[in-house]
Amino acid sequence: MAALALLTGVGTLSAAPNGDVEAGKTKSATCQACHGADGNTTIDGSYPKLAGQYATYLAKALHDYKSGERKNPIMAGFAATLSDQDIADLSAYFAAQAGDIKDISHLK
């Protein structure tokens, strides 16, 4: 059973703090400079839209920037200052925003 939890990632998800949307909104001021106040209106097309993304995806991306697993000097600098709770809150906030994320699972 432990092996199944490890393979599915259940063990790591249960250890993550719960995100608070309102706290995430308060903490999102720095993010808004590039990703827009609502996570949809980026300053140019090179910045990803965050609104409507899955919270688990956003949290993983922030953790990966923080650990250096994902490379981007700007994001690494911002993520380095975030606690696990900050990451959960920001992820919950942007996931709760209405987004225009498109399903591309049909593309190969």
Residue 49's region, left for phi above 0, alpha for psi from -120 to 50, else beta, is beta
Range 22-96 has CATH code 2.60.40.10:
no
Say whether pLDDT at 43 is over 80.
yes
- Is the pLDDT higher at 105 or at 52? 52
Q: Where are the domains of the chain?
A: 22-96
pLDDT at 7: 44
- Is the pLDDT higher at 25 or at 38? 25
One-letter amino acid of 49: K
pTM above 0.85, yes or no: no
Among 2-16, 52-66, 88-102, which range has the highest average pLDDT? 52-66
pLDDT at 66: 98
Q: Kindly state the percentage of the chain with pLDDT values over 70.
A: 81
Alpha helices in the chain (DSSP H): 2-8, 10-15, 21-27, 29-35, 55-67, 73-79, 84-96
**How far apart (Å, rounded) are the C-alpha atoms in residues 40 and 44?**
11
Q: Which residues fall within 8 angstroms of residue 96, CB to CB, at 6 or more apart?
A: 21
pLDDT at 23: 97
